[in-house]
Amino acid sequence: MPTCLTAKQILVRYGPDAPPVLSEFSLGLCAGEFIGVIGPNGSGKSTLVRALSRTLRPSAGSVLIDEADLYADLKARDAAQQIGVVPQDTLVTLDFTVREVVRMGRAPHLPRSPFAGETREDEQIVTVSLITAGVAEFADRAITTLSGGERQRVLFARALAQQPDVLLLDEPTAHLDLRHQSELLILAGELARGAGKAVLAVLHDLNLAAAHCDKLVLLCGGHIAAQGTPAEVLTGEILLRVYGVRVWVRPHPVTGRPLVLPLPEFSAVLPEKTGRHVHVICGDGTGAGLLVALQQAGHLVTAGALHDGDMDAEAARVLGIPWAREASFSPLSAAVLKEADQLSATCDAALLTEVPFGSANLANLAAALTLLQAGKPVGCLGGRHSDFSGRDFTGGEAGHLWGQLIAEGATLLDSQSAALEWILTHNYGNCVGT
């Protein structure tokens, strides 16, 4: 019969008069599931592992393995036969060999006789666990000689040797490098989906949690702030509310799972508004940093025509910068170009980034020339010595417009900092920025 570990309305505190760390918390973890528990520091994640592993008894509520109460009906040995734990703390002070540490995972299954030792089957299980966790090469070394990440994998091997139905991992990737983080979580997923284990992992890395877990539980202040699939939990709105930080969330281009990146934080007090309206003609990710820098400097910023899904369009969207939106992979339409013209009509100056030009966005280069001819100062990032031909995918048409733009007085700017200084000082003459 598949095993389920269930918490029902548990309240957990560290002392009779201490405030609760978990309050009215309920969760079901069943065979075949891989659940990730995420949340800010102090939200109750590690406390949850202690409560579910018979280490910290809840003050109220119950924890059940199937129908048996973990604390009232089961002894520690019985619980250890069903629940394996990989703790967050990897500190080991005694000079046990790695094999001896992993062999400790067999203790709940050994006969109670003080003279009973491990059987051949026990040793086979230990060997397989060492190999599975990738620590067989360290088997005869003292665990005190290993790095934190290596010790973490040894403790994972010990939990595997325990052969539990439920596996609880408390920040198992904290000391691991990129490769071993991925390998451990892939293995945890295989144990759940392939071997029918019930697996719960406390994780700080939201992208690792999104990539590997079937379901996420987001804790905040000892309560469940959100739970569901990674896509349901990892939204900008939810993460802003719980973590207090703005993030950019988009589907991973390969897996389709959420990819979470923090956004730049502005200082609490922005510079006094300068009254300058700067219009940025960009695309292909060449303008995102400039949009942020201009907004941080206190300017009113608009952007030109951008295709849906373009990195600069995403930056404009999350920053609240108006931009003219065109469908992906479509030539810029007359309606979108008209919208871009309206956004730039009142600008004090325009900046053109080092965007590549093809047939789909050539009209943006023409728009920069139109602004210049209408008397608007136009700054072109890239500098005097840049080779425009490397950005021209129009058979020379873009190069012709670029040459006309420079000939008619556009300012060449060597860097983003030069562009910011050019805007700030009103130095709109035809010179190379420094």
272, part of any domain: no
One domain for residues 144 and 243: yes
pTM, two decimals, is 0.76
Last residue within a domain, chosen from 262, 288, 314? 262
Q: How far apart are CA 74 and CA 145, in angstroms?
A: 36
Q: How far apart are CA 387 and CA 193, in angstroms?
A: 54
Last residue within a domain, chosen from 234, 262, 290? 262
Q: What pLDDT tens digit does each residue of the chain (434 aa) get?
A: 578 999 999 999 998 889 999 999 999 999 999 999 999 999 999 999 999 999 999 999 999 999 999 999 999 999 999 999 999 876 677 889 999 999 999 999 988 655 566 788 999 999 999 999 999 999 999 999 999 899 999 999 999 999 999 999 999 998 899 999 999 999 999 999 999 999 999 999 999 999 999 999 999 999 999 999 999 999 999 999 999 998 889 899 899 999 999 876 655 444 555 569 999 999 999 999 999 999 988 899 999 999 998 999 989 988 889 999 999 988 999 999 999 999 999 999 999 999 999 999 999 999 999 999 999 999 999 866 567 888 999 999 999 999 999 999 999 999 999 999 999 886 544 444 43
433, part of any domain: no
Q: What does the pLDDT read at residue 263?
A: 79
Q: How far apart are CA 434 and CA 418, in angstroms?
A: 6
Pairing of strands 4-13, 60-65: antiparallel
One domain for residues 350 and 421: yes
Q: What does the pLDDT read at residue 272?
A: 54
Range of the domain at 288: 277-425
226, part of any domain: yes
Q: What does the pLDDT read at residue 90?
A: 65
- Per the CB < 8 A criterion, the answer to whether 344 and 350 are in contact is yes
Q: What does the pLDDT read at residue 118?
A: 77
Q: Number of structural domains, the chain? A: 2
